[in-house]
Amino acid sequence: MEIGETSGIITSPSGYHIIQLTDRRSGEEVLVEQTLTRHILISTSEIVSDLEALNRANQLKIRLDSGESFETLARTNSDDRGSAVDGGALGWVNKGQMVPEFEEVMLYTEIGEISFPFETDFGWHILQVLDRRSYDGTEDVKREKARSAISQRKTDESYQSWLRRLRDEAYVELRIDEP
């Protein structure tokens, strides 16, 4: 809504509302550090030992260093099926979004570089950092705060409704034994 604009009728569990926006506070800009990255994952299992997974990852690193396409090798070798179809692309990753071991390597790898194989709880990874940016996440933060507030309010309303129903359905019988 724009300042001075009036909404239509909004229905909520509390009743009907008409809202007019009279002013808007300008909040601080929230900059989020993001890294555009892709990876190849070699998972360990009962069939693939840790040593075999490491050897496969080392062989893939040698092939990458010799000029083979990261995208092609990710499609044909990565055990992360979600990113493998996109050539290993993970998109823009926020700081704190990945497991610590992955994030540490990602943050210290230069743009355009391919990392050496490293291990996380998911298996052995090779990653490539494609770009870095500071993203204005102000709107995302506001949206998340609004979602959280609405969710909390709905939870509180449900809890109060449940308590009212419990009290309404409670039956108490007083029996006094006379001697």
In sequence order, which residues have a C-beta less than 8 Å from that of residue 167 and are 6 or more positions away?
none
Q: What is the reported pTM?
A: 0.63
Question: For the chain, what are the domain ranges?
Answer: 32-136
**Inter-residue contact 134 to 32 (CB < 8 Å):** yes
Q: What is the pLDDT of residues 122-168, one digit of tens each?
A: 999 999 999 998 888 777 778 888 899 999 999 999 999 999 999 88
Query: H/E element holding 154?
Result: helix 138-169
Got the DSSP string for 155-173?
Answer: HHHHHHHHHHHHHHH----
Amino acid 31: pLDDT? 77
Query: What is the mean pLDDT of the segment spanning 17-43?
Result: 84
Amino acid 108: pLDDT? 93
Give strand pairing partners of 40: 126
3-state class (DSSP) for residue 87: coil
Amino acid 74: pLDDT? 94
Is residue 111 scored above 90 in pLDDT?
yes
Q: What is the DSSP letter of 6?
A: B
Instruction: Kindly indicate the confidence band of residue 27, based on its pLDDT and cuts at 50, 70 and 90.
Output: low
Any alpha helices (H) in 11-96, and if so which ranges? 50-65, 70-77, 81-84
Is residue 33 scored above 90 in pLDDT?
no
Q: What's the chain's average pLDDT?
A: 89
Got the DSSP string for 93-128?
Answer: EETTSS-HHHHHHHHHSPTT-BPPPEEETTEEEEEE
- Report the residue count for the chain: 179
Q: Is domain 32-136 given the CATH code 3.10.50.40 in the classification?
A: yes
In sequence order, which residues have a C-beta less than 8 Å from that of residue 58 and are 6 or more positions away?
117
Q: What is the Cα–Cα distance from 103 to 123, expressed in whole angstroms?
A: 14
